[in-house]
Amino acid sequence: MKRFSVELLGMGVLLALTIFVSSSMGFVKIPTWEVIKIVFSHCLGIKFSGISPLHASVVMDIRLPRILCASLVGGGLAICGVVFQGILLNPLADPYTLGISAGAAFGASIALLFGFSFLGIYTVSLFAFIGGILTLLVVIYLSSTSSGGISSNNLILSGVIVSAILSAGISFCKYLAQERVAIIIFWLLGSFASSTWMNALILAVCLTGSTVVFIFYYRELNVLCLGGKTASSLGINPQQVRILLLTVASLLTGVCVSFSGIIGFVGLLIPHMVRSITGPDHLKLIPLSLLVGAILMVIADTTARAVLPAEVPIGVLTALIGGPFFCYIFRKRQVGF
């Protein structure tokens, strides 16, 4: 437990540093210590000398909301990955396995195709969220047996089938959109470019709530790894716990996707990385995955925004790095862990 506390603290400090350093990077170079002064002067209302108003505005209005959204989405997708892998008893599951991303993408495509804007900038997010949740309901309905049980294999299979149908729907939307196809494609690639403080606030609230629920059920998640029947013999109602955690994780995934677009592989990779360091105990896995996910997403977003010569969609970047890593894990599974 002592080692875990040190790891947790270390990751927390690392996350703060990453956020400050990446806030200093970009078209306008701002020294990191000035970023720290700007943030503290805003949070605590203390006046520091040597802060340029332009720099303050760049950090507070443009970079920080984006960086915070990136860290919250990264952390959110990572803990969703932990929970989905735990519930589905499958180390290769991720927040998108159940078709939630395809549903969200389809919802967003519909909103973009018809140009709905009755909720302003949140219209697409709302459609994406509803799409994701409806997909989850369909997947649960498809995979539940008549006795009310849900097997993890059924869930994954249903998720794949529904995703395939929705992908066709998305392609059809793109086809119909004709010259407006670009906005759909850009949304699907994922981006934090249009992040606002409001997005960050909503994400922070959802992430905090979900993390509390997941930690509350950490022991059940551990016992569920032994399989539903054994978990049941130890006094857990596997269906009930599965449905509850599935719902919370899906809601969180839905919120993340609706603000950032489709950013793949984060939810798959981070739990694996963290598990290989701390072991599979969910009490440690959940908070550490949250922090590591946040750090890596900020680094990825900063790379996409400020390091590469031209801005690259972050979804492309994570898939390009994450895809080969997935292959590596998959191959390692074939030859045995």
Minimum CB distance to other proteins smaller for 90 or for 303: 90
Minimum gap (Å) between residue 250 Cβ and other proteins = 21
The tokens for 330 are 């998959």
Measured CA to CA in angstroms, residue 161 lies from 138, 164, 168 at distances of 11, 5, 11
Minimum CB distance to other proteins smaller for 40 or for 216: 216
Minimum gap (Å) between residue 336 Cβ and other proteins = 8
Minimum CB distance to other proteins smaller for 4 or for 186: 4
Minimum gap (Å) between residue 275 Cβ and other proteins = 7
31 Ramachandran zone, left/alpha/beta (phi>0; psi -120 to 50): beta
The tokens for 310 are 């031209």
Minimum gap (Å) between residue 35 Cβ and other proteins = 38
DSSP state of 180: G
Minimum CB distance to other proteins smaller for 171 or for 230: 230
- Residue 144, classed as helix, strand or coil, is strand
Q: Residue 296: name the closest of 91, 75, 82 by CA.
A: 75
Burial class of 115 by CB neighbour count within 10 A (0 to 12, 13 to 18, 19+) = exposed
Residue length, the chain?
337
Minimum gap (Å) between residue 8 Cβ and other proteins = 17
Measured CA to CA in angstroms, residue 114 lies from 173, 192, 204 at distances of 9, 23, 30
Alpha carbon of residue 313 to chain centroid = 16
- Under 8 Å CB-to-CB from 307, ≥6 apart: which residues? 25
**Which residues would be at the binding site for other proteins (CB under 8 A)?**
86, 89-91, 146-147, 216, 219, 222-223, 225-227, 229-230, 232-237, 275, 279-281, 337
Minimum CB distance to other proteins smaller for 55 or for 275: 275
Minimum gap (Å) between residue 263 Cβ and other proteins = 25
Minimum CB distance to other proteins smaller for 28 or for 157: 157
Minimum CB distance to other proteins smaller for 117 or for 153: 153
Given a contact cutoff of 8 angstroms between Cβ atoms, the answer to whether 317 and 304 are in contact is: yes
Minimum gap (Å) between residue 245 Cβ and other proteins = 15
CA dihedral (337, 321, 306, 314) positive or negative: negative
Minimum CB distance to other proteins smaller for 145 or for 178: 145
Minimum gap (Å) between residue 54 Cβ and other proteins = 49
Give the number of C-alpha atoms closer than 13 A to the C-alpha of residue 84, restricted to the C-beta side: 33
